[in-house]
Amino acid sequence: MKICPSVEEIRSAIAGFRAASESVGLVTTMGALHEGHLTLMRRARAAHDRVVATIFVNPTQFGEVADLAHYPSDDHRDIGLLRSEGIDALFLPTVETIYPPGDETIVETVHLANVLHGKVRPGHFRGVATVVARLFNICQADAAFFGEKDYQQLQVIRRMVRDLHFPIEVVGVPTVREEDGLAMSSRNVRLTPEDRAAAVVLNRSLTEAEAIVAAGTTVEALGEAIRATIKAEPRAILRAVDIVAAESLEPVSGPVTEKIAIMLSAEFGGVLLIDQREIEP
Ligand code: PAF
């Protein structure tokens, strides 16, 4: 695996692949790799000749400096994992490489970035769109793979790619879960054993929601049922239950008659976790 700290090095590695008519799949990450990331890489490997990964803890998507400071980071471990996955090239830039001095260009999906989780994390999705646009421009891959768990992020990136005519396919990959159903996340390592056990309530409430929708329900009754399940878990501090139209994230109400997305966030011992599911009636 070629490790490339500079734009020139990663571009030249990818130019080499292209010169051999090889297709390139891209997986962007902030490190702290877990099975969820490795699944994205395996999906990329199955569809492309070469897989390029990026590790960059993007400061512009963290609202609070404390959250950035707590973000787990272990490049040595991550590089070992990428090598064992057979990744072809790793882009490992510094903050100054991605955001050169005097930098002033941002990318924002003005509506999608500022609803739902965007309301409680102002600037977060602008930071995501800005860095992903830069990584796409630097790497020029054929396709990029993102987890469906970060549902709003995936919709923001899809919209940005569509609106700005980026020549790249965005592939959404279903959430990878632990055996008991907890969605994999870099944040899970910060949970105490008790909070780790309690956090499965998120997946449980989504599985119950599938049954409720299958039996016929309204958006309002579904929201109540999910809230009741999560509130019954004493270690959970519920932050949001959002039920919206899939992909557009537009508000919905009344009987569930179209594909919806349920987006949950809750804190367990101060660690904010999210989970989501698309459900078709
Ligand atoms: O999902 C992530 O890890 C990040 O938000 C991303 C897409 C790599 C942008 O920094």
Residue boundaries of the structural domains of the chain? 2-173, 186-274
Please name the fold of domain 2-173: Rossmann fold (3.40.50)
Average pLDDT, rounded, for the chain: 96
Write down how long the chain is. Answer: 281
The mean pLDDT value for 76-94 works out to: 97
Q: Ligand 1: does its nearest atom lie under 6 Å from the Cβ of 152?
A: no
Q: Is 34 labeled as catalytic in the residue annotation?
A: no
Q: What is the dihedral of CA 4, 107, 58, 3, to 10 degrees?
A: -10
Report how far ligand 1's centroid is from the alpha carbon of 153 (Å).
Answer: 8
| Ligand 1 atom at shortest distance from the alpha carbon of 30 | 3
What average pLDDT score do residues 98-116 get?
97
Q: Which of 257, 249, 270 is nearest to 116 (CA)?
A: 249
Distance, in Å, from the CA atom of 175 to the CA atom of 185, rounded to the nearest integer, reads 10
- Determine whether the shortest distance from the Cβ of 58 to ligand 1 is under 6 A: yes
By most ligand atoms within 8 Å of CB, the mutation choice from 124, 128, 161, 274 for ligand 1 is 128
For residues 170-190, give the mean pLDDT. Answer: 93
pLDDT on residue 73: 78
| Mean pLDDT on 162-178 | 96
Q: pLDDT tens digits, residue range 62-79?
A: 987 667 777 777 899 999
Q: Could you say which of 37, 48, 117, 124 is catalytic?
A: 37
d(CA 99, CA 133): 12
CATH 3.90.1280.10, applies to 186-274:
no
For the whole model, what pTM was predicted?
Answer: 0.90
Q: Residue 223 Cα, ligand 1 centroid: separation in angstroms?
A: 28
Q: Tell me what pLDDT residue 65 has.
A: 65
Mean pLDDT confidence for 170-177: 95
pLDDT recorded at residue 71:
75
CA 58 to ligand 1: nearest atom: 10
CA of 19 relative to ligand 1 center, distance in Å: 29
Query: Ligand 1: which of 57, 153, 156, 157 to mutate, judged by most atoms within 8 Å of the beta carbon?
Result: 153
Residue 30 beta carbon below 6 angstroms from any ligand 1 atom = yes
Residue pLDDT, tens place only, 17-61: 999 999 999 999 999 999 999 999 999 999 999 999 999 999 999
Which of 8-12, 65-69, 118-122 tops mean pLDDT? Answer: 8-12
